[in-house]
Amino acid sequence: MSGKQYLTTPPALTGMPPGIPYIIGNEAAERFSFYGMRALLVTFMTQFLFAADGTLQAMKKEEAVGAYSVFVGSAYFFPILGAILADVWWGKYRTILWLSIVYCLGHLALALNDPRLGFLGDMRTGLVIGLGLIAMGSGGIKSCVSAHVGDQFGRTNSHLLEKVFGWFYLAINLGAFLSNLITPWLMNSAPTWLAKNFPALVPQDELGRALLGPHLAFGLPGVLMLLATFVFWMGRHVFVHVPAQGPQKVLASLTGEGLGALLKLIPLFAFVAIFWSLYDQSGSSWVLQAKDLDRRLVPGWNTEGTMGWLGEPLHVETVQAINPFLILVLVPFFSYVVYPLVGWVVPLTPMRKIAAGFFLTFLSFLIIAGLQRSIDQGAQPSVHWQFLAYLIITAGEVLVSVTCLEHAYTQAPHEVKSFVMALYLLSVSVGNFLTAGINKLITYPAIGQQLQGWNYFLFFGGLMLAATVLFSFIAPLLKTKTYVQQGTPEELAEESPR
């Protein structure tokens, strides 16, 4: 720790802050690591889990969806811990840096998860250890990173916040898109490619060959997380560092006006939890559904191999890549086309954007339910129908998630911005725990019979529709006040970390 005072440079108060490229670069690499790992989980749990004696110990469908939802829910629960550490004791920079190291250790545990190594026991134990560390690390930094973005701005350049949060979301989805293409190939196709071109690198025993793909696929996200940590550390001397407030100041901010702001945000976050309960199933139940779809991009044209890869089935995990790709397209499209056009007709408030996103999410689940009914009747519909559902739910994501990300920051009192961002992320946790709970109930015959097949997706779609209608009545009551950093040297001063 240096004894010098660190101040943001004057250009950061009027133009784009110099720390933003480091944050965006860190976010792109970190999201590659998270989504690249997450894309594999359901397949890994249902196909690649082995006991200590080498026998297959795979999970059933409902167990895997439940375990996936518990992990995602945990990853979005730990932002509360990170926010407390950041706002009360460590500050955002140190919280992000130290918990990123925990994050890297989690990836290492997954990459080394192998019953032949012995020290992790069977692969379920290694899975719990790895996912636990990743949930703690990734969750702990989530609220801090998004709040750290906002901290780089003062009043004179706060008009750039919307643009930067859009870039921030683009960085998330660029990393997610690339990882959803690369890590499924590493798990499913790389072992065959290595056996053909570099046979000396392929293990000779059967279990080793079976686990080569998962080792490669989980190893690359670990490397990217290490890179993300390094990029963030490189920006330490140009970041605006808002100091920790201490317990007394944070608790004081949760009274009076600060308490009023929180009470108006919590109902919004409760509705958003239902959105996340549906949305995050695009990485679990939708993936399992994709196994039963015709996953060729050009169906029926590859009888003699003339269409090449266009006629080959996509890996089930790769289908998810359509979501971050669409984000890369839809974020600027909504910002520069949809919002201005709609704004000429009706004032487009954050609450109206969110309500529209809820309704689109409901429509996407109607399509998924229809697909499942066709599958239940013995058909094999095209993956293009699932692509349509992804298009609609991704449009809903832009309307809900991007809007809430900015809204949660700007509506938070200065002293508890990380805490409020954590409350927003807690809505993701609650939504995923809801999904996990429902999948647990399905294991009981009386309930499971009612939620089998397409009824499962109809249930969640109906839940989203009910939430949309109720939200349309409550939203006008959620009036809040905007808080941004003042940008004065006295407020932004903090000792510069080494």
Q: Mind listing the pLDDT tens digit for each residue in 367-377?
A: 999 999 999 99
The two beta strands, 494-495 and 5-6, are: antiparallel
- Report which of residues 147 and 73 the model is more confident about: 73
Percentage with pLDDT > 90 across the chain: 39
In whole angstroms, what is the distance from residue 399 CA to residue 390 CA?
Answer: 14
pLDDT of 418 reads: 63
- Report which of residues 100 and 11 the model is more confident about: 100
Could you tell me the pTM of the whole model?
Answer: 0.80
Pure H helices in 76-160: 79-84, 92-111, 123-151
pLDDT of 13 reads: 44
- Cα Rg of the chain (Å, integer): 23
The CA-atom distances, in angstroms, between 375 and each of 65, 104, 291, 369 are 19, 40, 11, 10
Do residues 433 and 67 touch, judged by C-beta distance below 8 A?
no
pLDDT band (50, 70, 90) for residue 493: very low
Q: What is the pLDDT of residues 407-431, one digit of tens each?
A: 877 777 766 666 777 788 889 999 9
Structure token digits, residue 143: 């609220």
Q: Which residue in 83, 99, 101 sits closest to 91, CA to CA?
A: 83
Q: Measured at the alpha carbon of residue 104, what is the angle toward residues 219 and 102, in degrees to the nearest 5?
A: 150
Q: Which of 79-83, 306-310, 337-341, 424-428 has the highest mean pLDDT?
A: 337-341
Q: Which residue in 123, 93, 309, 103 sits closest to 215, CA to CA?
A: 123
pLDDT of 6 reads: 37
Region 326-351: mean pLDDT is 89
Region 223-228: mean pLDDT is 94
Region 73-83: mean pLDDT is 88
In whole angstroms, what is the distance from residue 124 CA to residue 50 CA?
Answer: 8
Structure token digits, residue 262: 């929180």
Structure token digits, residue 371: 């697909």
pLDDT reading at 433 higher than 80: yes
**Chain centroid offset of residue 138 CA:** 10
Among the ranges given (240-244, 278-282, 338-342), the one the predictor scored with the smallest mean pLDDT = 240-244
Region 98-110: mean pLDDT is 94
In whole angstroms, what is the distance from residue 470 CA to residue 31 CA?
Answer: 33
Region 434-458: mean pLDDT is 84
Q: What is the pLDDT of residues 56-71, one digit of tens each?
A: 888 888 889 889 999 9
**Chain centroid offset of residue 462 CA:** 24
In whole angstroms, what is the distance from residue 361 CA to residue 357 CA?
Answer: 6
In whole angstroms, what is the distance from residue 401 CA to residue 404 CA?
Answer: 5
Burial class (CB in 10 A: 0-12, 13-18, 19+), 311: middle
pLDDT band (50, 70, 90) for residue 304: low
Structure token digits, residue 86: 């950041």
Do residues 350 and 407 touch, judged by C-beta distance below 8 A?
yes
pLDDT reading at 34 higher than 80: yes
Supply φ then ψ for residue 450, to 5 degrees.
-85, -20
pLDDT of 70 reads: 92
pLDDT band (50, 70, 90) for residue 381: very high
pLDDT reading at 265 higher than 60: yes
pLDDT of 348 reads: 87
In whole angstroms, what is the distance from residue 266 CA to residue 59 CA?
Answer: 36
**Which SS3 state, helix, strand or coil, does residue 440 take?**
helix
pLDDT of 74 reads: 92
pLDDT reading at 206 higher than 50: yes
CATH 1.20.1250.20 fits 5-301+316-487, yes or no: yes
In whole angstroms, what is the distance from residue 168 CA to residue 146 CA?
Answer: 8
pLDDT of 171 reads: 82
pLDDT reading at 109 higher than 70: yes
Do residues 468 and 362 touch, judged by C-beta distance below 8 A?
yes
| Mean pLDDT score across all residues of the chain | 83
Q: Which residue in 47, 25, 9, 476 sits closest to 288, CA to CA?
A: 47
In whole angstroms, what is the distance from residue 57 CA to residue 343 CA?
Answer: 54
Q: Look up residue 305 and give its DSSP letter.
A: S
Percentage with pLDDT > 70 across the chain: 86
Q: Which residue in 359, 493, 336 sits closest to 2, CA to CA?
A: 493
pLDDT band (50, 70, 90) for residue 11: very low
